[in-house]
Structure 1
Amino acid sequence: MSTLTTLSDQEQQFLDTFQQAVERDQFDRLILSQYKGELQDLEKMTLRVIPLNEQRVLSCLYRYKTQDVTKNYPLDEALFQVASLLACCKQANLMTVDEELQLKKNKKKAMLTRSKHKAAMNQVKPAEQGHDRIKQRFVDQDSIFLQHLGITDQKAQIIPSMARKWKQINKFVEIFSGALAQIKPQAEGLRVVDFGSGKGYLTCALYDYMQKHGQTPYVTGVELNPKMVEFCQNVAQQSGFDQLDFFQGDVRTYAPEFLDVMIALHACDVATDFAIHSGIRLNAQMIMCAPCCHKELRPQLQAPKVLSPMLQFGIHAGQQAEMLTDTIRALLLKAYGYETKVFEFVALEHTSKNKMILATKRKDYQQPDQVVLAQIQALKEMYGIQKHSLELLLNDQWDQQGIGSKC
């Protein structure tokens, strides 16, 4: 290729090492900086190899002053793309499993330096190290949206007071990525609704993750607070998230016609039930909830006499009501065709609202599972429960207007 004919020896060595690292599955990432080409306001590029539609591709994150843009290239074009970009940059840093290379160029010469990693790093198998890298990088720390949200500073360093929020975001996207791999890709893109989106931390992180992994996301954050909605809309615009929008409302007032992924984190009390019902009704492929404020069942609770000594303590009664509420939710999801898990998604030290209900749609679902519905009825009879909002909604029996309108 023409770009390779004018390369210095140092540049050629750099590209050879890049190509060998990719071929041997030892490539970590490549950072190209001090860009001097024709793309205006481009600051740097970060390149990684990622899986996409059962193939490996070269993913390039173009970081501009005000937004990030991701483009994916076939792996057989990797060398050409890197050589073309390298010609426009004065510095390049290549990280492989074994070493790091730094290439610096000026008008007179190119300088190449190599530094080996510590011996302990070399003892890690490439496959294992690759797995570790994936676990650490569900959200790119240098993503521009993190600055706009106040999570990182201008040098892409985590602001200390936001360290816990940063960990929550990464854990949430890690869980989401695992579930995303199980659902069927949509040619027209994935339609995602985040009920109770707040300041948009998770909403923006999901959009960024999907965009960088070859998805076409259409994401809507639903939030009651008008100031939050305005703030999030500005963040989306500044970050170049063209298909991310925010709606002022709640789970009762926002009614999408189509839905692939339904998210409701910390939707208060029965607002969680309305959100789950929306997901089931619209045949969502994925439903993610982190419930809070379990108020509905506790006044109804009439536990078996044998449990009275335990439940005389208020904290135990509250925990019992919470467990029963979310068990019925999980079983209803299971009955209506979802593979369902209930688990702790972040440690209690980060948030007390740490329970996640994650459900993905089964392909073989035809009608509600009567065995599971019988299990729910048995639990209700055991505890004297007369009504559960999600069950009422699924049976078209909801009649308490005005309740569950806030989240």
Structure 2
Amino acid sequence: MLADLIKMSGKEILYLLEQEENIMNCLGFKNNNGQLKKDMRKKISEISGFCEQILKVIKKLDKDKEIVFLECSCGKSYLSFVLSYILEREFNIKTFFFGVDTNKELVQRCEEISSILGYGNMVFKHGKTIDFSTDRKVDIVIALHACNTATDEAIVKGIKIGAKHIMVVPCCHGQLRSQIKSHHPLTNLTQFGLLRYKFADILTDALRSQFLLGNGYYVELLGIVSPKLTPKNILISARKIKSKKNKGSLEKYYQLSNMFNTNFRLQEFFPEHSLNDTLVCTC
């Protein structure tokens, strides 16, 4: 069964969903004629591509135990609903989902949809990701297009609760754009607005990746869909491999941050990470 999961592509997931009228209608993917709405094609492709990567990490977990997900800045929780359907209804893998969002109306809507679908394995909370707490052990933290620093809060929450996997697809990268106009080695590049925007995206995700490495995670950056569909297609996929911090990677994070004089959101939640005489490169 797990081998079947691993081989399931985004296109196969998309085809599977298109045959499931109930969930597609409840999530608002189809119109009254039973056809996929044009304005939802990109979204469902993104969800299918993300699900494909999540399915690949399931093999790392104990299939006989409940897999607990936390979706941060969940919005309408499309991702959690689709994952619940695929894992439980199609492959009989026991799951539980937490969804957290600051929009109370969306949280209430998610509760209504889970009730309509009969998904008793889902709980939605109104509030900030960073304030979320539970007695359950969360296995996988996920976030799809959490806006700006909301992605960083998802990463922080995953690190602090010791999640086995942290998988985020960032949205806008606004926090560094104004910070890298000057006072760094590449000002000849960032003086041009469009290039600064593109470079801020790269630098932001590089800092996030180094920070995860520094906190004992193995990190891959993957594409969930073609960049022709959306430029916001990069998945930061992190798997916990060490219980201790990787001092060498943390130093690389701070070297990169200091090079561009950034005040990055991630480090605000970890004051104990500040470099000192005991934190030196061991690589």
**What TM-score do you get using the length of structure 2 for normalisation?**
0.83
Higher relative contact order (CA 8 A, sep 6+): 2
- The reply to whether residue 219 of structure 1 matches residue 97 of structure 2 is yes
Q: Output the CA distance in 1 between the equivalents of 2:228 and 2:11.
A: 21
The alpha carbon displacement at 1:156 in A equals 5.8
Q: Output the CA distance in 2 between the equivalents of 1:267 and 1:231.
A: 18
Query: Contact between 2:10 and 2:51, CA under 8 Å: does it hold in 1?
Result: no
Q: Output the CA distance in 1 between the equivalents of 2:129 and 2:252.
A: 28
Q: Which residue of 1 aligns with 2:78?
A: 201
Pick the structure with greater CA Rg.
Answer: 1
Query: Contact between 1:145 and 1:235, CA under 8 Å: does it hold in 2?
Result: no
Q: Output the CA distance in 2 between the equivalents of 1:282 and 1:296.
A: 25
Q: Which residue of 2 aligns with 1:261?
A: 140
1:337-373 Cα deviation digits (max 9, x unpaired): 21211233223443343222111222xx131112112
Q: Which residue of 2 aligns with 1:382?
A: 259
Q: Which residue of 1 aligns with 2:243?
A: 366
1:295-337 Cα deviation digits (max 9, x unpaired): 33334334544x3322210121222222222111111111222
- The reply to whether residue 316 of structure 1 matches residue 192 of structure 2 is no
Structure 1 gap segments, 5+ residues each:
1-50, 57-130, 399-407
Q: Output the CA distance in 2 between the equivalents of 1:263 and 1:133.
A: 19
**What TM-score do you get using the length of structure 1 for normalisation?**
0.59
1:138-196 Cα deviation digits (max 9, x unpaired): 64323221111121357864344432222222112111111222334462x11111111
Given residue 165 of structure 1, which amino acid in structure 2 is its aligned partner? K
Q: Which residue of 1 aligns with 2:271?
A: 395
Q: Output the CA distance in 2 between the equivalents of 1:315 and 1:367.
A: 39
Distance 1:186 1:326, change over 3 A: farther
Q: More strand per residue: 1 or 2?
A: 1
Distance 1:361 1:186, change over 3 A: farther
Distance 1:159 1:266, change over 3 A: closer
Given residue 344 of structure 1, which amino acid in structure 2 is its aligned partner? G
Stretch of structure 1 that moved more, 197-206 or 160-169 = 160-169
Q: 3-state SS of the aligned residue for 2:174?
A: coil
Q: Output the CA distance in 1 between the equivalents of 2:266 and 2:202.
A: 15
Question: How many aligned residue pairs are there?
Answer: 268
Q: Output the CA distance in 2 between the equivalents of 1:267 and 1:140.
A: 23
Q: 3-state SS of the aligned residue for 2:146?
A: strand
Q: Which residue of 2 aligns with 1:169?
A: 47
Query: Contact between 1:141 and 1:156, CA under 8 Å: does it hold in 2?
Result: no
Q: Which residue of 1 aligns with 2:120?
A: 242
The alpha carbon displacement at 1:286 in A equals 1.2
The alpha carbon displacement at 1:382 in A equals 2.0
Please give the residue correspondences for 1:2-401 in structure 2 after superposition, counting only pairs within 5 Å. 51-52=1-2, 135-137=11-13, 139-143=16-20, 144-152=22-30, 157-185=35-63, 187=65, 189-211=66-88, 212-257=90-135, 258-301=137-180, 302=182, 304-305=184-185, 307-362=186-241, 365-385=242-262, 387-396=263-272
Distance 1:132 1:367, change over 3 A: closer
1:25-75 Cα deviation digits (max 9, x unpaired): xxxxxxxxxxxxxxxxxxxxxxxxxx14x7x8xxxxxxxxxxxxxxxxxxx
Query: Contact between 2:10 and 2:52, CA under 8 Å: does it hold in 1?
Result: no
Given residue 149 of structure 2, which amino acid in structure 1 is its aligned partner? V
Q: Output the CA distance in 1 between the equivalents of 2:237 and 2:133.
A: 21
Q: 3-state SS of the aligned residue for 2:175?
A: coil
Structure 2 gap segments, 5+ residues each:
275-283
Q: Output the CA distance in 1 between the equivalents of 2:163 and 2:49.
A: 22
Distance 1:382 1:204, change over 3 A: same
Given residue 374 of structure 1, which amino acid in structure 2 is its aligned partner? E
